[in-house]
């Protein structure tokens, strides 16, 4: 089958699908971070072909993962009147069903938290999130964020190595910056309690088989995302329009984008609710500082592969993303003339 790199994802939102959706199971790439000699090559290969891979032996202590899951569940299990006190998510806080600011809807509840301790006061925020032990909540989130940031930087450095970039920390520096714009997101997908019904003509809001769309199809705007979920399936990626590849639930997976001048894939993905079980996931979105200039690394711009996009700041790109709908493609607005 054919993969769809960022470069070919330009254009307006896809027209309504004419053929039925196909679900196709395949084995997705796995990168073992403890096998240093092969990790860089495997990451580059995975990013080129899938924009998505599973990481094992990542070194994030299980206790950290478990305490984030526990704290998340304690929050989502609260009565909704309580949860609403932590909202709305503008940009941080609790949200239910509404995604972004342009009318996207999904069967999901979420907590959006700033992941930069210099810019976001987790302790303060935790007071509206946890009524029994706010300090425990903020400790768990802060420790998890710190651990994930290390994993992200390690992967970004392996990526630079695999791309034979002269500046091996060009990517990771943006995430280690004092003013990085990274975000932590907890998603809660309730089990399906009523028979699936199409809630609109928009295909992104329709039920799919026994499931509903929890998080509609989109690609992530940040540099890299690390996603971890409980053991409930629901995530799917799409390399080809109308064909969905299920991603079996398991520890940690992540995906990539634009600084690579079209070489890597920022894969489209979505989440369906599970008919019987709740799914909870935690996503760490590693983002540069707002003023950071995003441009293809010089090694990736050659006469054969001229620059596809004009340089832009993360602030410019982010505000474009937030002015569009979830499923829209955004990078085409930055294409070279």
Of residues 122 and 165, the one with the C-beta less far from ligand GA4: 122
Sequence-ordered strand ranges (E) for 196-327: 213-218, 224-229, 235-240, 243-246, 252-256, 268-272, 279-286, 293-294, 312-313
Distance in Å, CB of 115 to ligand GA4, minimum? 11
Count of Cβ atoms closer than 10 Å to residue 229 Cβ: 23
DSSP 8-state assignment for residue 195: -
CB of 231 to ligand GA4, least distance (A): 21
Nearest distance in Å: CB 64, ligand GA4: 21
**Contact (Cβ atoms closer than 8 angstroms) between residue 256 and residue 163:** no
CA-CA distances (angstroms) from residue 145 to 64, 139, 149, 281, 331?
10, 10, 6, 14, 28
Q: Cis bond leading into 91, ω under 30°?
A: yes
Smaller CB distance to ligand GA4: residue 91 or 306? 91
**Minimum distance of ligand GA4 from residue 146's CB (angstroms):** 20
Looking at the annotation, which residues are catalytic? Answer: 279
Instruction: Count other Cβ atoms within 10 Å, centred on residue 172.
Output: 23
> Toward ligand GA4, which CB reaches closer, 177 or 301?
177
Residues that bind ligand GA4 (CB under 6 A): 99-100, 102, 104, 183, 185, 218, 220-221, 285, 321-322, 325-326
Calpha distance 289→299 (Å, rounded) = 23
Q: Return the residue nearest ligand GA4 (CB atom).
A: 100
Whichever of 135 and 322 has its CB closer to ligand GA4, that residue is: 322
How long a stretch of residues is the chain?
A: 337
């Amino acid at each position: 089958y054919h993969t769809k790199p960022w470069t070919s994802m330009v254009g307006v939102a896809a027209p309504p699908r004419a053929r039925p959706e196909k679900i196709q199971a395949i084995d997705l790439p796995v990168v073992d971070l403890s096998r240093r000699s092969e990790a860089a090559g495997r990451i580059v290969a995975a990013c080129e072909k899938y924009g998505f891979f599973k990481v094992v032996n990542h070194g994030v202590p299980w206790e950290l993962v478990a305490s984030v899951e526990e704290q998340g569940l304690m929050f989502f299990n609260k009565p909704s009147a309580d949860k609403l006190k932590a909202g709305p998510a503008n940009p941080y806080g609790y949200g239910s069903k509404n995604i972004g600011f342009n009318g996207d809807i999904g069967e999901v509840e979420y907590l959006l938290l700033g992941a930069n301790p210099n810019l976001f006061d987790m302790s303060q925020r935790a007071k509206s999130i946890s009524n029994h032990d706010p300090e425990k909540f903020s400790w768990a989130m802060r420790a998890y964020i710190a651990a994930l940031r290390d994993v992200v930087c390690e992967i970004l450095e392996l990526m630079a190595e695999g791309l034979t970039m002269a500046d091996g920390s060009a990517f990771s520096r943006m995430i280690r910056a004092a003013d990085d714009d990274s975000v932590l997101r907890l998603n809660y997908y309730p089990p399906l309690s009523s028979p699936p019904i199409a809630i609109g003509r928009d295909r992104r809001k329709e039920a799919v088989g026994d499931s509903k769309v929890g998080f509609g199809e989109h690609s992530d705007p940040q540099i890299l995302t690390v996603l971890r979920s409980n053991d409930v399936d629901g995530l799917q990626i799409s390399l080809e329009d109308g064909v969905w590849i299920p991603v079996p639930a398991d520890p940690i997976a992540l995906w990539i984008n634009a600084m690579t001048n079209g070489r890597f894939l920022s894969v489209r993905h979505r989440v369906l609710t599970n008919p019987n079980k709740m799914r909870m996931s935690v996503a760490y979105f590693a983002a540069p500082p707002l003023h950071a200039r995003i441009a293809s690394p010089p090694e990736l711009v050659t006469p054969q592969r001229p620059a596809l996009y004009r340089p832009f700041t993360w602030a410019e790109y982010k505000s474009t993303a937030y002015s569009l709908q979830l499923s829209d493609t955004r990078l085409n607005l930055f294409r070279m003339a």
